[in-house]
């Protein structure tokens, strides 16, 4: 779809990925403007429901990113996150939720280029997939409800 601009949300940790994305900016690296960043102290804080709620808000793709294993500012937050992601990926894939729209990565504070590459890559992948129409949307008065059978 040529003129479809995917809406992406990125849940990122404050100490690594957010700083890394900051570096992307200060390095004047241009990258797709489709992502909205949500900063959390640590990937360990990311509740899997946040991802589903993003889809429920009409988002087409989600990025989750944090410090490399071993580098977590809180020592082990990203290790716990990784386990949580392993389980939740299996569950949502089993249920038929599109895993191609959920991307995980480790981006450190020094990896400004990697962040740009990541966002560009995910944007193009999700652009090809199109809007995430099948996912039920939250009823907040703006979006129409998807009726139950």
Partner 1 sequence: MSQQRILEKKSLDELFGKLTAAGNRVLAPLRNGQRVEFAEVGAGQGGGSPGRDTASQIDLDYIQTARPAKEVVFPRYEHMLRYRLAGKDAQAEEIAPEARPTVLFGLHPCDAASFATLNAVFTWDSPDAYFEPKLAKLTIVGLSCTQGDAYCFCTSVGGGPGATHGSDILLTPIDGKRYLAEIVTEKGAAVVALAPHLFAPANGESEPERQRGATTEPGATATDLKEAVLAQIAPRFAPEQLGQRLPALFPRNGVWVEQSLRCIGCGACAYVCPTCTCFDIQDERQRYAGVRLRCWDSCGFGLFTLHASGHNPRAKQSERWRQRVMHKFSYQPERLGVLGCVGCGRCSRSCPADMNLAQHVEALAQTPT
Partner 2 sequence: MDALREKARALLEGGTVKVVIGYAGGSDPQRARAVFVRDAAQADQLIWNETCRQNLATYLNKPEVKALGKPALVARPATLRSLLQNAVESQLADEAVLALAVADGQVVELPTFAAIEEYLAQQPHGLTAEQQQELSRLAALSLEERWAFWSAELGRCIKCFACRAACPLCYCDRCIVEVNQPQWIPVASDALGNLEWNVVRAMHLAGRCVDCGSCADACPEGIRIDLLNRVLAQEALGSFGAEPGYSTRKDYALAAYKPDDKEEFIR
Report 50-79 residues binding partner 2 (CB under 8 A).
Answer: 52-53, 56, 69-70, 76, 79
Contacts of residue 111, defined as CB under 8 A and 6 or more positions apart, other chains included, come to 20, 23
Nearest to 17 by CA among 53, 55, 59, 71: 71
Site string for partner 1, 40-59 (x = CB under 8 A): -----------------x--
Q: Residue 114 or 127: which CB sits closer to partner 2?
A: 114
Alpha-carbon distances, residue 41 vs 26, 48, 110, 123 (angstroms) = 21, 15, 17, 25
Considering only residues 121 through 140, tell me which ones interact with partner 2, judged by CB under 8 A. Answer: 134, 136-139
Scanning 100-108, 115-123, 125-133, 140-148 for contacts with partner 1 by CB under 8 A, the matching segment is: 140-148
Compute CA 40 distance to the chain's CA centroid, rounded to the nearest angstrom.
12
Q: How far separated are the first and last CA of the chain, in Å rounded?
A: 30
Residues that bind partner 2 (CB under 8 A): 48-49, 52-53, 56, 69-70, 76, 79-80, 82-92, 94-98, 103-106, 118, 134, 136-139, 145-149
């Amino acid at each position: 779809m040529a003129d479809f601009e995917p809406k992406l949300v990125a849940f990122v940790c404050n100490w690594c990925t957010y700083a890394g994305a900051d570096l992307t900016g200060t390095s004047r690296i241009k990258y797709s403007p489709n992502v909205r960043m949500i900063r959390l102290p640590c990937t360990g804080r990311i509740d899997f429901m946040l991802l589903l709620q993003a889809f429920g808000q009409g988002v087409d793709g989600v990025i989750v990113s944090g410090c490399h294993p071993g580098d977590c500012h809180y020592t082990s937050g990203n290790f716990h996150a990784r386990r949580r992601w392993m389980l939740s990926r299996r569950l949502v894939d089993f249920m038929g939720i599109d895993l191609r729209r959920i991307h995980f990565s480790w981006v450190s504070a020094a990896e400004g280029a990697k962040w740009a590459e990541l966002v560009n890559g995910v944007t193009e992948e999700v652009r090809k997939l199109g809007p995430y129409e099948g996912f039920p949307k939250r009823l907040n008065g703006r979006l129409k409800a998807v009726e139950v059978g």
